[in-house]
Structure 1
């Protein structure tokens, strides 16, 4: 009995389907696009951010500038106004001018800006959450900040103690001066009383002498 079966697809068609399937499975993330902006590039027709035009998704990062603000070329150096996003996993993400993409200089610490220049950039990103080493001793950044705060507090307390000690010395010196001034006032008052007593005694002696002469 004869069995009917569909003819196998041509080799060219099979190769094309395999290529499309593999591309769909291994499709890389949007190059030069920040994670929070990926949804903006999902439509088939994407608008330029400056509102002056649009472009099909197939022209994204195709090396030709369709938008004057570089919206369509975040991952190439085609547009001078474009911005390239460095993921810098573990470190601080940043944006670069697209003009530095593939210029044979590693600007991103993860080296993602030199993906086609032939330059192999070492990943120099440092995990900011890791324990950092200082002179061979592992020190946590929070501990460093805590120690710095303690040292600052100690310094402030020391400064306050020095200021208080100086004020105390000033007050003690003022008290000594007041005591000296009081002693001087007492001495001057005593001298004044003595002078008054001498003058009074001399005047009284003269008065008595006159009375004595008049009686004679």
Structure 2
């Protein structure tokens, strides 16, 4: 099963849902995320629970345990430049099979991939990315599932909501239908299957579990 996990560092990460996955008895997942959690939170907990088989993303070095696991063959890692990762997920949600980018041409990341010259510039073909389940984080949802994001949390979350069969949104606040302005809604409810109230709040730059 492939999971798309929102977040940039810890910002915009569905910590409550990931805590539940870390505690769940079963699990051997391929995860697509910018990074693998941070300081014992988020995907770091899922990794420590032994539930990640493969990680697809851009920034894994903050998780030293994951790097060590990769170095001894216990974890498969597919490294994708950050902008390429975002565009691949966007294409998955838009029904586009892939795209050409000059990023990573001539590097080890291009090995085994198609390279085409267009107007004198070499481009690398990157396939779209879709998931079975997307776990995303928003600041607010109404009871229909319309989502509003807060600043940096509007990173991978909105595009991941379009690129998975099932979407679970963790939110800080749930309001009645009609309380959100149509102008502030980024992800329409048609993309969202489940809404979960977060158990975390941010205090002094740290995410603290409060209930």
Q: Same fold (TM over 0.5)?
A: no
Between structures 1 and 2, the one with greater strand share: 2
TM value normalised by structure 1: 0.19
Q: Which has the higher contact order (CA 8 A, sep 6+)?
A: 2
Between structures 1 and 2, the one with greater helix share: 1
**Larger Rg over CA atoms:** 1
